[in-house]
Structure 1
Amino acid sequence: MGNVDEQPVGIDELLERVRAGYTRIEPQEAYEAAQSGQALLVDIRYAALRERDGLIPDALVVERNELEWRLDPQGSHRAPEATSHDLLVVVICNEGYASSLAAESLRRLGLHRATDLVGGFQAWRAEGLPVTSGAGAQA
């Protein structure tokens, strides 16, 4: 826990601090890294957004509340894709805010290359990158 004398931090300042600790990735760069097998895209949007807006092909869908358990390479509940602490994980939320906090959490687990997508899924879609129908999306 923090020092009792520390002043509370607002979410905007917290995001600034978190994002200062790593380099975020733009949609086109994330797409190219995933296509070349150099990155794992992880969609943490909730089901209603995935159903409404669609899915990024080949992205691993993990609910935010399961993220650390599914991506910890040493965890008993890890996803098969969670192979190493050296894995480049690109966390994707709807607009690129919650994903920053999620990426920081993964970095604390030792996934030192974890990052998040600038602008989230909405930026991905705006760039014209591939999206499939969200109907029947799995959680």
Structure 2
Amino acid sequence: MSASPIGAERAGSPSQGVARPRRFLAAGTPVRPRVGAGTRRHRAGPRMQRRLARLARATVDSPVAVTREEPGEIAAGLETVLEHARRGLERLTPEQAVAAWRGGALLVDIRTSEQRAERGALPGAICIDRTVLEWRLQPGGRHSIPELAGPDTQVIVVCRQGYSSSLAAASLRSIGLQRATDMIGGVEAWIEAGLPLSDDPPDVRR
């Protein structure tokens, strides 16, 4: 009588594989992972060990790196950035901005289209989106507007309330427009001063 398939498997040659008896562990016994022929143990080299050591020291010695800033701290940081941006700016009142524009300065409105539609357009202003401001007003740049005669051109940046305009003016100064400045109070101050607004379509440069 021929042997059963199970018996043949147990009595098979080494090439066919020999069934190994199963071992059962008692409940609660920890199981250690086996390291077989296809498993490699990786050990960090000296260079990686030094990196890990520096990272561990930085994590322990620098708790600020893993803490979150409170809203008050963020506001204080913004005030510091704004104060630094306004250093060296000869900021203008709305009346002074009008006089400078009549004398040849460029009045640049960086408000959004929604803000212009809500409050009105400034007469004589060139509207440039904040995202492309530096490219349109780069002295000698390929994408600059033709009204920019050179680095000595006075540029007056206007926003809604006079905060973003200060940061934008400081950025323009950093690329060579040393006479770039902004208007105190923005368009809100313009309206409060009783200066006129324009009903004409805004001069938008893209």
Give the TM-score taking structure 1 as reference length: 0.87
Written as runs of structure 1 = structure 2, the 5 A alignment for 1:18-57 is 18-37=85-104, 39-57=105-123
Q: With a CA cutoff of 8 Å and minimum separation of 6, indicate the structure with the bigger relative contact order.
A: 1
Instruction: Decide whether the 8 Å contact of 1:51 with 1:133 is kept in 2.
Output: no
Give the TM-score taking structure 2 as reference length: 0.60
- Equivalents in 2 of 1:41, 1:138: separation in Å? 11
Q: How many residues align?
A: 130
Q: Where do 5+ consecutive residues of structure 1 fail to align?
A: 1-7
Instruction: Decide whether the 8 Å contact of 2:152 with 2:178 is kept in 1.
Output: yes
CA deviation map 1:56-79 (0-9, x unaligned): 111111000110011112111111
1:125: Cα distance to partner? 1.3
SS in 1 for 2:141: coil
- Equivalents in 1 of 2:131, 2:87: separation in Å? 24
- Equivalents in 2 of 1:73, 1:81: separation in Å? 11
* Aligned partner letter, 2:136: R
Q: From 12, 16, 19, give the equivalent of 2:79.
A: 12
**CA shift in 2, pair 1:93/1:65, >3 Å:** same
Match for residue 130 of structure 1?
Answer: 196
**Structure 1 segments of 4+ aligned residues over 2 angstroms from their partners:** 136-139
Instruction: Decide whether the 8 Å contact of 1:27 with 1:117 is kept in 2.
Output: yes
Q: From 169, 173, 176, give the equivalent of 1:107.
A: 173
**CA shift in 2, pair 1:23/1:137, >3 Å:** closer
* Aligned partner letter, 1:43: D
Report the aligned-residue RMSD. Answer: 1.6
Instruction: Tell which structure's C-alpha radius of gyration is larger.
Output: 2
- Equivalents in 2 of 1:16, 1:51: separation in Å? 30
CA deviation map 1:24-74 (0-9, x unaligned): 11110010111232x110000000001111111111110001100111121
